[in-house]
């Protein structure tokens, strides 16, 4: 059940005629959760600050006039809206003193209630079921209002808009409380007494609050009320359909507002997260549930027509992810990995899956999602990058990752491949120093040593191969801290130099980033953080290395450009059809 805390009195009330009539028409939230507008059952509207139990304003209509629906606050215009004598709409501001001098307009049909969702435009609900936006209604107040309800129907609850026959039980009671059915009143946990009338209000998806008037036979004194909270039944509509015509219970920002005798009480509450199974003591251990889900999913995924079940697979994944986010003890990594492997899933179908995997540090599932999901948003891609780059290498090595991806990086990081070799036919050191030393005596430069561990590198490679748009990726890349940017650029430099060496064996069939993908990410990271990198002392050497590397690539392109003309001439030459046994031809290139 919900936890009820010690209450306090917000204000006094005019004496009610009977226990089931509270003397209050309605309570509405005002500018924030600490301000409410209280409308009594006769002529007054009052503004209160709840935490101080302090009245901030009061407005009253003339003697002989009556407010016929609760006042609401229009947060767009900072105005109050109420209805008097069923047809007169009144609008005023907090600084107005007399309602009679404020704006008013008479409409052509009786108004039942004015509704105003916080931040939205007020909506007028008429007694015969028609609905109009306030602004459009005030533009022509005497416009005809159509009747939506049948002749024998009427609105009994403005909050539920629950349409019932006026000829049904309780119709003759008019504005008095409409009691709950006897079967429900007897079922409520109120010791040995009975309730004469009761009102119910939904607190959240799992709890209902009920306030009731004890039956005279219980011997309770005048003014006594009882308040209970209980878990929702499987059919809560049976309880809520028979509410009082005038509710005696309101709830805003985890506070219950209850008229009690001559006072309006405020009772703070808290609804704990719970389930019916745990309440009954029948909740199984999480491990036994993981096992049960795994068995059922394996049976589903073993079907030959799995592609036909794609919508069901997506719904299953979304359900498992939602349960895992809500319950820290529940997680099914193997099942989720199997679902991703079916390729029946994408990010848009289950948008919380990657974030769940990051939260649970399930890096294998992250890797699978990056491999199989073609629609991962750039924000999620950057979230993965930030998570991977910040993982301690010790923790990353514990993750079980794709074997092919690991094989690629093991070969790339091996010492045999680490010797300084030719890059696209040219040695970058020869361009800078004019000569190269013996490989046997030349130590491996720092940029030839991988700055991250094996598994961490594998995860970063998955990010490099994810589809993205430069426009959407750049803003998120700027969230990386300078330390991580430097480390990422060092890794990209290492990766490009190794993959571009002629001595590096081509490993076809293994998942690995291409040279174009690596260089694209280098450019993106530099674009996003160049100013910061220039001002970072630790990045000076890295930027110089990248500058030197770019110069070598420019030199390479320049050398290739010198033979472009020769290659074009060779392409233009026509080969003779019959050259006999052999032929000797002299080709003059210059």
Model confidence over 495-531: pLDDT tens digits?
988 887 755 555 556 778 888 899 899 989 999 998 8
Cβ-count burial 257-287 (b if 16+ within 10 Å, e if not): bbbbbebbbbbebebeeeeeeeeeeeeeeee
Tokens found for residue 491: 């890794």
222-238 pLDDT tens trace: 444 555 565 543 333 33
Residue 108 vs residues 87, 88, 579: alpha-carbon distances, Å: 7, 9, 104
Tell me the H-state helices in 188-240.
237-240
Residues 19, 215: Cα–Cα separation, whole Å: 10
Reading the chain (590 residues) residue by residue, the pLDDT tens digits are 667 788 888 888 766 544 445 678 888 988 888 899 999 888 899 999 998 888 899 999 998 899 998 999 998 899 999 999 999 999 999 998 888 889 999 999 999 999 888 778 899 999 888 899 999 999 999 999 988 888 888 887 654 336 333 333 333 332 223 334 444 444 444 444 555 556 677 776 667 777 765 555 555 444 445 555 655 433 333 333 233 333 478 888 888 888 877 888 888 888 766 544 444 344 445 555 677 777 777 777 676 566 667 777 888 888 889 988 988 888 888 889 988 988 888 898 899 999 999 999 999 999 999 999 999 999 999 999 999 999 998 889 988 898 888 888 888 887 544 444 444 444 444 334 444 444 445 566 666 788 999 999 999 999 999 999 999 999 999 999 888 999 999 999 999 888 877 555 555 567 788 888 998 999 899 999 988 888 888 888 888 888 877 787 788 888 888 888 777 777 776 655 566 677 777 766 55
Beta bridge partners of 8: 266
Q: What's the order of all strands across the beta sheet hosting 226-231?
A: 195-204, 207-214, 226-231
Look at residue 22 in the predicted model and tell me its pLDDT: 62
Q: Which pLDDT value is given to residue 270? A: 82
Residues 452-488 have pLDDT tens digits of 999 999 999 999 999 999 999 999 999 998 889 999 9
pLDDT of residue 311: 77
Taking alpha carbons only, the member of 252, 264, 268 closest to residue 32 is 252
Q: What is the pLDDT of residues 88-107, one digit of tens each?
A: 999 999 998 888 889 999 99
Q: What is the DSSP string of 383-451?
A: HHHHHHHTS-HHHHTTS---HHHHHHHHHHHSHHHHS---BTTB-HHHHHHS----TTTPPPPGGGS-S
The alpha carbon of 452 is separated from its chain's Cα centroid by a whole number of angstroms, namely 33
The single-letter DSSP state of residue 217 is: G
Q: What is the structure's pLDDT at 367?
A: 94
Residue tagged 């092919």 (tokens): 404
Q: How many angstroms separate the CA atoms of 552 and 568, rounded?
A: 25
**Using CA atoms, how far apart are residues 156 and 262, in angstroms rounded to an integer?**
26
Q: Name, in order, each residue with C-beta under 8 angstroms of 506's C-beta and a sequence gap of 6 or more.
A: none
The confidence score (pLDDT) of residue 93 equals 92
Q: How far, in Å, CA of 576 to CA of 566, rounded?
A: 19
CA 60 from centre of chain? 44
The alpha carbon of 512 is separated from its chain's Cα centroid by a whole number of angstroms, namely 33
Question: Beta partners for 11?
Answer: 264
- Residue identified by tokens 């209980």 is 230
Threshold 0.85, pTM exceeds: no
442: CB partners within 8 A, 6+ apart: 420, 436
Euclidean distance between CA atoms 3 and 269, whole angstroms:
5
**How far is it, in rounded angstroms, from Cα 267 to Cα 7?**
4
Alpha carbons within 13 A on the beta-carbon side of 377: 14
Spatial separation of the C-alpha atoms in residues 277 and 282, rounded to whole Å: 5
The strand order across the sheet containing 35-40 reads 24-29, 35-40, 44-49, 54-60
Specify whether the backbone of 219 is left (phi greater than 0), alpha (psi in -120 to 50) or beta.
left
Residue 445 and residue 418 in contact, taking contact as beta carbons nearer than 8 Å: no
Q: Which of 102, 155, 152 is nearest to 131 (CA)?
A: 155
Contact 70, 28 (CB under 8 A): yes
pLDDT at residue 491, as a whole number: 93
Q: Is residue 180 within 8 Å of residue 197, measured between CB atoms?
A: yes
Q: Can you tell me the distance from the alpha carbon of 42 to that of 478, in angstroms, rounded to the nearest whole number?
A: 60
Give, in degrees to the nearest 5, the angle at Cα 184 between 180 and 188.
Answer: 110
């Amino acid at each position: 059940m919900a936890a009820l805390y010690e209450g306090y009195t917000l204000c006094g009330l005019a004496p009610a005629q009977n226990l089931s009539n509270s003397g209050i028409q309605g309570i509405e939230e005002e500018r924030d959760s600490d301000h409410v507008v209280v409308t009594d059952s006769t002529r007054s509207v009052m503004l209160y600050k709840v935490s101080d139990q302090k009245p901030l304003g009061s407005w009253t209509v003339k003697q002989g006039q009556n407010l016929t629906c609760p006042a609401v606050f229009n947060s767009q215009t900072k105005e109050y809206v109420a209805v008097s004598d069923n047809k007169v709409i009144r609008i005023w501001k907090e600084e107005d003193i007399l309602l009679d001098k404020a704006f008013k307009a008479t409409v052509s049909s009786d108004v039942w209630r004015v509704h105003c969702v916080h931040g939205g435009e007020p909506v007028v609900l008429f007694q015969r079921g028609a609905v109009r936006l306030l602004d459009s209604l005030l533009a022509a107040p005497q416009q005809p209002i159509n009747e939506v309800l049948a002749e024998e129907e009427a609105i009994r609850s403005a909050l539920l808009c629950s349409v019932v026959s006026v000829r049904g039980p309780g119709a003759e009671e008019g504005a008095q409380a409409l009691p709950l059915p006897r079967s429900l009143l007897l079922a409520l946990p109120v010791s040995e007494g009975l309730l004469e009338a009761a009102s119910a209000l939904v607190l959240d998806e799992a709890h209902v609050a009920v306030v009731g008037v004890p039956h005279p036979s219980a011997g309770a004194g005048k003014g006594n009320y009882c308040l209970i909270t209980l878990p929702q039944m499987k059919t809560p509509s049976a309880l809520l359909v028979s509410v009082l015509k005038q509710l005696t219970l309101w709830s805003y920002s985890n506070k219950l507002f209850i008229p009690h005798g001559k006072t309006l009480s405020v009772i703070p509450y808290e609804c704990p997260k719970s389930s019916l199974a745990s309440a009954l003591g029948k909740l199984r251990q999480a491990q036994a549930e993981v096992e049960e889900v795994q068995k059922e999913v394996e049976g589903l995924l073993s079907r030959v027509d799995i592609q036909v079940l794609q919508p069901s697979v997506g719904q299953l994944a979304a359900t498992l992810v939602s349960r895992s986010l809500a319950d820290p003890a529940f997680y099914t990594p193997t099942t989720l990995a199997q679902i991703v492997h079916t390729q029946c899933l994408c990010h848009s179908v289950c948008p919380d899956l990657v974030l769940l995997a990051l939260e649970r540090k399930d890096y294998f599932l992250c890797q699978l999602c990056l491999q199989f999901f073609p629609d991962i948003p750039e924000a999620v891609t950057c979230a993965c990058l930030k998570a991977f780059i910040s993982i301690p290498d010790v923790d990353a090595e514990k993750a079980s990752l794709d074997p092919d991806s690991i094989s690629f990086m093991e070969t790339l990081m091996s010492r045999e491949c680490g010797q300084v070799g030719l890059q696209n036919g040219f040695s970058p050191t020869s361009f800078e120093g004019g000569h190269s030393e013996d490989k046997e005596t030349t130590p491996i430069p720092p940029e030839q040593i991988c700055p991250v561990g094996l598994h961490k590198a594998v995860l970063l490679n998955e990010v490099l191969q994810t589809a993205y748009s430069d426009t959407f990726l750049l803003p998120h890349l700027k969230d990386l801290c300078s330390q991580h940017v430097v480390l990422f650029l060092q890794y990209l430099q290492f990766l490009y130099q190794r993959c571009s060496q002629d001595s590096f064996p081509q490993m076809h069939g293994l998942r690995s980033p291409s040279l174009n993908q690596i260089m694209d990410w280098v450019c993106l990271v530099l674009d996003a953080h160049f100013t910061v990198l220039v001002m970072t002392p630790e990045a000076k050497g890295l930027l110089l290395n990248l500058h030197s590397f770019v110069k070598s690539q420019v030199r390479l392109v320049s050398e290739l450009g010198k033979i472009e003309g020769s290659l074009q001439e060779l392409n233009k030459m026509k080969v003779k059809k019959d050259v006999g046994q052999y032929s000797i031809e002299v080709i003059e290139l210059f």
